[in-house]
Amino acid sequence: MTGQPIVADESAQPVWFLGTIARIKLDGEQTGGRFALWEGELPRGAAPPLHSHPQDETFYVLEGEVTVWVDERPRTCRRGAVVFAAGGVPHTFRVESDTARMLFLSTPAGIEDFVRALAEPAQWPWLQPPPDGPRISPERVAEVERAFGMVRHGPPPPAVGT
């Protein structure tokens, strides 16, 4: 890192990441490992398993509504809401609206490399169902989680109404 300002523009290449669109705006290489920032576009019901990782993670809701769990407490979050999950603290979220757009901040950097390890090139820059074809296996996801120090503490939150 040179100390020169870095301007991330709208050209961040979208990738298909486990049913969502991700755009990595700044990664650890650009920030000297200090942090990483990416934008996610997520469909209704998108929800990772309850998990933790060494990095702090901050969620900022740009559009839509999500329920975020940190320390087992659900919080309804709409546009402008910010939630912080310290490294090692189990957390998850679920998209309640038709879609949601969120910014994710990893401090220090590292989670963006997990995203890249499981990402596939997006065939289009907007959210829609993926084309038919092979999906990433649960075994591959578990292997990458272990490689990046992620720990699963439980399943994703149940869908609304179940």
Out of 30-34, 40-44, 119-123, 145-149, pick the least confident: 119-123
Coil, helix or strand at residue 114:
helix
> What average pLDDT does range 136-160 have in this prediction?
91
Structural domain boundaries in the chain: 14-124+135-154
In the block, which residue shows the tokens 């289009």?
124
The CATH code that applies to domain 14-124+135-154 is 2.60.120.10
The token duo for 29 is 């290489």
Total-model pTM: 0.87
pLDDT in tens, 97-135: 999 999 999 999 999 999 999 988 877 666 665 555 557
Coil, helix or strand at residue 137:
coil
Which of 140, 41, 51 is closest to 87 using CA atoms?
51
Confidence (pLDDT) at 129: 59
